[in-house]
Amino acid sequence: DTGVSQDPRHKITKRGQNVTFRCDPISEHNRLYWYRQTLGQGPEFLTYFQNEAQLEKSRLLSDRFSAERPKGSFSTLEIQRTEQGDSAMYLCASSLDFPTSTDTQYFGPGTRLTVL
């Protein structure tokens, strides 16, 4: 499968713990996005990378959240001191040239985080 992959698919943690999620984009894609999605809602943008540079961050991305893409390939999203409100699906997407061409974003299956 050459699509976007995310690991783990599910994570249950206790409030106050740190968690880290990984996203492996489609190999030639230089753009990578992180989103958060709660039930019944559309994905909310968190942050965006072009290669290894983090070019944009949402106000939703509090100082407890950090994302990296060290070599311009895979990316990690870390949440420190998790809160129950962090419970959501965390989606990763990648693209080659979206939206400036006919290319589109390709989404991974997401990581479902539950904070107890």
Under rule CB under 8 A, residue 32 binds other proteins: no
Under rule CB under 8 A, residue 99 binds other proteins: yes
Among 31, 34, 77, 87, binds other proteins (CB under 8 A): 31
Tell me which stretch binds other proteins (CB under 8 A): 11-19, 33-41, 61-69, 76-84. 33-41
Among 82, 88, 105, 115, binds other proteins (CB under 8 A): 105
Under rule CB under 8 A, residue 8 binds other proteins: no
Closest of 38, 39, 29, 59 to residue 47, by C-alpha? 59
The answer to whether the beta carbons of residues 114 and 12 sit under 8 Å apart is yes
40: left (phi over 0), alpha (psi -120 to 50) or beta: left
Residue number with CB closer to other proteins (3 or 16): 3
The answer to whether the beta carbons of residues 46 and 93 sit under 8 Å apart is no
Under rule CB under 8 A, residue 108 binds other proteins: yes
Under rule CB under 8 A, residue 38 binds other proteins: no
What CA–CA distance (Å, rounded) separates 66 from 47?
Answer: 9
Under rule CB under 8 A, residue 101 binds other proteins: no
Among 41, 51, 62, 114, binds other proteins (CB under 8 A): 41
The answer to whether the beta carbons of residues 111 and 11 sit under 8 Å apart is yes
